[in-house]
């Protein structure tokens, strides 16, 4: 039986709490500052739960979150949806397989883009396994519909995209996966940055890189076919 519209317009409290916890963790790990960053999660085939515009994510409560349709129409919530809603919508449109999007401003990873670099691929095994190759989308002004359009092609082929001179976006099948990808991106970028202070960074040989990429593809294939890890939230 279809629930009444008023019930359908309210995401389960546990989902709201999970988004709030990710927001607080992003702040605690200094992946965002001030009113930076935004998080969304797919509630069902035509609705998202997204953080509101203009809030410190460190102070967010479950009832501050906003529900929007997949075309961006606000369905419920007392605040306006994130100014980066177009970025989130473009990710879900490009990737029907994903269930969550995390946008943050990770310091070290974003710093690579300020000098015209990507976070190097082929040097850190865990980064290759958990995040994959990191794309860099060219600069577009934050908070514009154009940003969503510009990043969309990168979402089709990458789970984590750096936004030049701005920040990063992580996509996940679950909220936890997107959150952990953002943390791992910054952790890996910091490690590579520190390694460069010690000497020249050595790239893994092609056989090792191929094996890591194959392992990532295999893990994602397994997850897509029903053997998800125990840690997944959804």
Site residues for Zn ion per CB under 5 A: 142, 167
User: Distance between CA atoms of 158 and 95, rounded to whole angstroms?
Assistant: 10
**Closer residue to Zn ion (CB): 48 or 128:** 48
User: Which residue intervals of the chain are DSSP H helices?
Assistant: 5-8, 13-28, 85-94, 107-114, 125-130, 145-155, 175-198, 206-224
Classify burial at 190, counting beta carbons within 10 Å of its beta carbon; exposed 0-12, middle 13-18, buried 19 or more.
middle
What's the closest the beta carbon of residue 151 comes to Zn ion, in angstroms? 11
Beta carbons of 56 and 102 less than 8 angstroms apart: no
- At residue 201, the 3 state secondary structure works out as coil
Q: Least distance from C-beta 36 to Zn ion, angstroms? A: 6
Complex with Zn ion: residue 56 or 76, whichever CB lies closer: 56
Distance of CA 3 to the CA centre of its chain: 31
- Give the residue nearest to Zn ion (CB): 167
Angle at 143 between CA 138 and CA 149, to 5 degrees: 50
Q: Output the smallest distance, CB 70 to Zn ion, in A.
A: 21
| 72 versus 142: smaller Cβ distance to Zn ion | 142
Distance CA 60, CA 2 (A): 31
CB-based contact 44:68 (threshold 8 Å): no
Q: Which is nearer to Zn ion, 82 or 174 (CB)?
A: 82
Exactly one of 17, 73, 84, 117 is catalytic; name it: 84
**Closer CB to Zn ion, 75 or 84, in the complex:** 84
Clarify whether 17 is annotated catalytic.
no
Largest pairwise CA distance in the chain: 64
Q: Minimum distance from CB of 85 to Zn ion (Å)?
A: 12
Map residue 69 onto helix, strand or coil: strand
Q: What is the set of active-site residues?
A: 84
């Amino acid at each position: 039986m279809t629930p009444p519209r008023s019930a359908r317009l309210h995401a389960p409290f546990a989902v709201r709490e999970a988004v709030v916890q990710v927001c607080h963790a992003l702040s605690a790990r200094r992946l965002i500052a001030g009113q930076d960053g935004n998080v969304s999660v797919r509630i069902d085939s035509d609705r998202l739960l997204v953080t509101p515009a203009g809030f410190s994510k460190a102070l967010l409560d479950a009832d501050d979150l906003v529900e929007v349709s997949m075309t961006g129409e606000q369905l419920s919530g007392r605040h306006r949806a994130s100014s980066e809603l177009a970025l989130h919508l473009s990710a879900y449109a490009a990737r029907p397989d994903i269930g969550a999007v995390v946008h943050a401003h990770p310091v070290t990873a974003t710093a690579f883009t300020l000098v015209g670099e990507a976070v190097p691929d082929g040097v850190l095994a865990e980064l290759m396994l958990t995040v994959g190759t990191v794309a860099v989308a060219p600069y577009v002004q934050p908070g514009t519909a154009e940003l969503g359009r510009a990043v969309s092609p990168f979402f089709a082929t990458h789970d984590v995209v750096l936004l030049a001179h701005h920040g990063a976006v992580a996509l996940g099948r679950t909220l936890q996966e997107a959150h952990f990808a953002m943390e791992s991106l910054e952790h890996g970028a910091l490690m590579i940055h520190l390694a460069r202070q010690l000497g020249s960074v050595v790239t893994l040989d092609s056989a090792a890189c191929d094996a890591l990429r194959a392992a990532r593809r295999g893990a994602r294939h397994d997850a897509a076919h029903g053997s998800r890890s125990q840690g997944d939230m959804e």
